[in-house]
């Protein structure tokens, strides 16, 4: 497990997968490569020097598959996670359907 991954009390890593986080910058998306950890409480991502996500399932409003890419989304590997506050994140993983179903199963 990564050194920079701090789990909450009672939190357990249920799945670990390499992937990318597509961060929106101005008019395009920037690809950050790293690793996702899906715990019993949240989605964690660590990549590069500064790329980091911490998405608690209780704050997620919607999850669906999508395409990703820098200008025109064309790669069918995306999972769009929309938070209850309206902010959205594009995760890119192999086996996205299984990952999207897993996240959906965690939403209350």
pLDDT in tens, 19-28: 999 988 777 7
Residue 108 has pLDDT above 80, yes or no: no
pLDDT for 14: 96
Spatial neighbors of 88 by CB under 8 A, at least 6 apart, are: 80, 81, 82
pLDDT for 89: 95
pLDDT for 4: 60
Question: CA 5 to CA 98: how far, in whole Å?
Answer: 23
| Domains along the chain with CATH numbers | 13-107 (2.30.29.30)
pLDDT for 5: 82
Residue 2 has pLDDT above 60, yes or no: no
73 against 95, higher pLDDT:
95
Q: Which residue has the tokens 């939403």?
A: 107
CA angle 82, 98, 102 (to 5 degrees): 55
Residue 30 has pLDDT above 70, yes or no: yes
Question: Structure pTM?
Answer: 0.90
Residue 1 has pLDDT above 50, yes or no: no
């Amino acid at each position: 497990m990564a050194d920079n991954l701090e789990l909450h009390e009672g939190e357990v890593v249920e799945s670990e997968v390499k992937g990318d986080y597509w961060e929106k910058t101005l008019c395009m998306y920037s690809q950050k490569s790293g690793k996702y950890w899906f715990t019993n409480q949240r989605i964690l991502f660590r990549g590069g020097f500064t790329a980091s996500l911490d998405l608690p399932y209780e704050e997620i409003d919607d999850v669906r598959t999508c395409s990703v890419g820098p200008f025109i989304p064309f790669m069918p590997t995306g999972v769009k996670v929309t938070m209850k506050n309206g902010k959205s994140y594009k995760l890119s993983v192999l086996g996205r359907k299984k990952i999207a179903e897993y996240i959906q199963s965690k939403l209350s």
